[in-house]
Chain A
């Protein structure tokens, strides 16, 4: 992976933006509606990274954000949950973008679902109880409005970036 200064700066900006979105998300609790649910605002940045950077560079943005946030505000277990959800979402979204099977909004919904499933898998391992998947149907339904929100925002931001910022 060859990264020039411009790319490096861009990756740094994306990581810090994702951190801010993650922080904003903490102030808007939605897990009262569905246990364990969240808006996934930081996924806006992951999605945009996947569209404007290579897959490896986008992975760097994702892992960078998760590691920094977990070390600053989280714990070992929050690192584990964020990584499992984040990486699964990254792989699913990356594949759908590569094969151009859906627009950014569909990709965003799939990312939200992949994130949920990744976290439920780790949660099931941690508590050694598969019953946690009892929450899956509700989380699936909830992933649609949040995925639409994140996808639409990313779409608007992506258009702005492509018109205003030189990437390579």
Chain B
């Protein structure tokens, strides 16, 4: 291995860390959040997400079947009939900025931060 190989490895790890923490910090300021579900680019479900949100949403169209469950504010893809099952094995999500994607069925489940968690909101 050349010296540059180690430089590449370190840069890649740094880039991963920067993107990860950047995303975390950018989404930290939100106190309220929304869960949104998109099917083929269209918004099909939207709800305020709190620790007491419970819901089940099923997408069953020509692209396939997906069952999304919200259990005490934690969103997960419970079932899907896609071939790769990547979405079903994805980690459950509960924080702004997180998402679950079922690529073969073009389904995106994402959590967006809504209200800002700082003084500006109060003064407004």
Contacts and interface: CB of A to CB of B under 8 A. Distances in A.
Are chains A and B native binding partners rather than an unrelated pairing?
yes
Interface of A: 31-32, 35-36, 77, 101-103, 105-106, 109-110, 113, 123, 126-129, 131-132, 134-138, 140-141, 143-144
B23 A134 contact: yes
Contact of A101 (B1, B4, B9, B86): B4
Contacts of A102: 2, 4-5, 8
A35 to B, nearest CB: 5
B19 interface: yes
B44 interface: no
Nearest to B17: A137
Max chain B Cβ within 10 angstroms of own Cβ: one of A32, A101, A110, A127: A127
Contacts of B110: 129, 131
A35 B89 CA distance: 8
B8 A110 contact: yes
A77 B89 CA distance: 21
Contact of A103 (B2, B89, B101): B2
Closest 7 CB pairs of A and B: A106-B5, A140-B16, A128-B41, A137-B20, A137-B16, A102-B4, A103-B2
20 contacts: A32-B89, A35-B87, A35-B89, A105-B5, A109-B8, A109-B9, A109-B12, A126-B103, A127-B107, A129-B108, A129-B110, A131-B101, A131-B108, A131-B110, A132-B108, A134-B23, A135-B101, A137-B15, A137-B16, A137-B20
A137 B13 CA distance: 8
Interface in B46-75: none
Interface in B72-114: 84, 86-87, 89-90, 97-99, 101, 103-104, 106-108, 110
Query: Main SS of the interface on chain A?
Result: helix
A136 B38 CA distance: 20
B97 A141 contact: no
Contacts of B1: 103, 105-106
Contacts of B5: 102-103, 105-106, 109
A109 B17 CA distance: 17
Max chain B Cβ within 10 angstroms of own Cβ: one of A123, A137, A143: A137
A40 to B, nearest CB: 15
A36 B89 CA distance: 10
A106 B84 CA distance: 29
Given A32-B89, A103-B5, A126-B103, A144 B13 contact: yes
A126 B5 CA distance: 34
Max chain B Cβ within 10 angstroms of own Cβ: one of A106, A123, A131: A131
A54 B89 CA distance: 41
Given A36-B86, A102-B2, A144-B13, A134 B99 contact: yes
